Amino acid sequence: MAVSESAYETQVKCTTFAGLYEGGDGYNVDLKYAVKGSKNFDVRGGTLTPMAAPVPFTPAGQAASGTMTLMCVNRRYQWDAQQYVTVADINYFLVAAGTKLYLYDPSAVSPAWTEISGVTITNPNFDFITYEVNFRDVGGTPTATPAPVDVLLFTNPDDGMFVFYTDDQTVQPVTIQPDPNQDPLKFGFLCRHYERIWASGVKDRPDTLFYSAINDPLDWSANTDAPEDGAGDIDQPSWDGDRFVALRTYGSYVLAIKKQKVWRILGTNPGEYTLKEQFGGGTIVENTVAIHDNMVIMLGYEGLMYYNGANVAAFQHQTIQDLLKRVNKANVGKATGCVCGDIYYLAVPLDNSTVNNCLIEYDFQERAFSIRENVSVTNFLVWDGVLYSVGVENSNFRVYKITHGDVTGASYLPIQYVSAWQDLGRRDVTKSAFDIYLISPTGMEITVGVETNKKKKTKTVTLPAGKPKRVHLNTVGRYFRFILETAATNAWWNLAGGYSAKLELDWD
């Protein structure tokens, strides 16, 4: 924030917009930052633009509420005359909602959500990965050379594992019982690392990590003849009641994450596997763990945490400290997060909400936070560089695209950008007669406000495209703050170059 001052007049300038900042005491923070109450804006490139409302991607599904999981798998092969493998390119979307699974096939003549028959679930919160199996007979008919089939594996600790086959769009349960004298294993979460699947989250084995046989995601039995090719498990107790809650592939390693600790798994085969403890904390919600470049970001007990390859530390707690205090602790387990492009998205329940109603976004490129309010997100999916979410609309589940920038057919949310209180370091000086200058390359309608310790004044004006506009607001006070607001609109707009203001000074 730039300030120039004479005896009876001063000028302040905001030359760029930089997102949320809730640190300090809330006074004299640079005007480029927004504070508590600000929402629904983007600041990519230092300009102020609106966030788009989620764009519906598929028709509404069936009646649903609460937790849901959105999954996807790409079908690369199809069968011809029961012997030839040809190329297909179909993304099958699946939603787990309530006690049922639903399939969306965009290649159908009239795409719609259809229930997958013969499958009943008790917990719609699944973890999932894609894989390829190379031993399934084409179309169920034995052939001389089994053909490759793309599959989706999904699991939770109540229902166990299922596999969705893309060749015939069926779902089958996967019984995992390495020891016939013990109950089948029901994994809570998975990750894919080189030629194996790693899993954990079994309710009565909270400190155990499991890995599949090599090149076979459905084989979890040991190989006595060649142990390095078979499946196995690793116990890593922490003796403090903690448990594994997430697995992620991290470069050439697997990260096994507990609520209070992170373990890095070293080695490429069972004879070499070792676990190295990383210090600083873990995550309280598996679905919030995401990776951007060499950083793992997640929601921990103290707020946002990050792992940098060596240890876990707090991630910009002060920047959004007030926002994180509003997260409903009783429902924080429903939080979900992901990275798409250069942005980390975290959906959380704020205040008294029992569902995720706010989307916190951190732009790694701009190093800026922003939020979207009044959105319905129960689960994210990043697929082919596109961010999808599933939420409830009119009691039915709906899949949306989360977008940024000028998007055809999108509607844009109302924004509010509130600066911190400013006294210019002089509480003994009364400020008045504010002239505020703005410019919009696109043209737009905006409400400009100045609030002082005595009164708030606003004025709604139309900014002509590419021309500066002066807005005069005659209010008085020892300290003040600026407010920029817009209504919801179907047209994207851009407020560039920050803003500046002239005001009069009255010395005591």
Instruction: Compute the distance between CA of residue 294 and CA of residue 309 in angstroms, rounded to an integer.
Output: 7
For the stretch 160-192, pLDDT in tens is: 999 999 988 999 999 999 888 889 999 999 999
**Domains observed in the chain:** 2-52+414-507 (2.60.120)
CA distance 378 to 410: 21
Average pLDDT over residues 422-439: 93
* pLDDT exceeds cutoff 60 at 1: no
Residue 6 pLDDT: 55
- Residue 134 to residues 113, 138, 148, 235, 470, Cα–Cα distance (Å): 29, 10, 4, 31, 68
- For the record, the structure tokens of 165 come out as 């086959």
Q: Report how far residue 6's alpha carbon sits from residue 8's, in angstroms, rounded to the nearest whole number.
A: 6
Phi, psi of 317 (to 5 degrees): -55, -45
The per-residue pLDDT for 381 is: 97
Digit-coded pLDDT (tens) for 53-86: 999 999 999 988 888 999 999 999 887 766 677 8
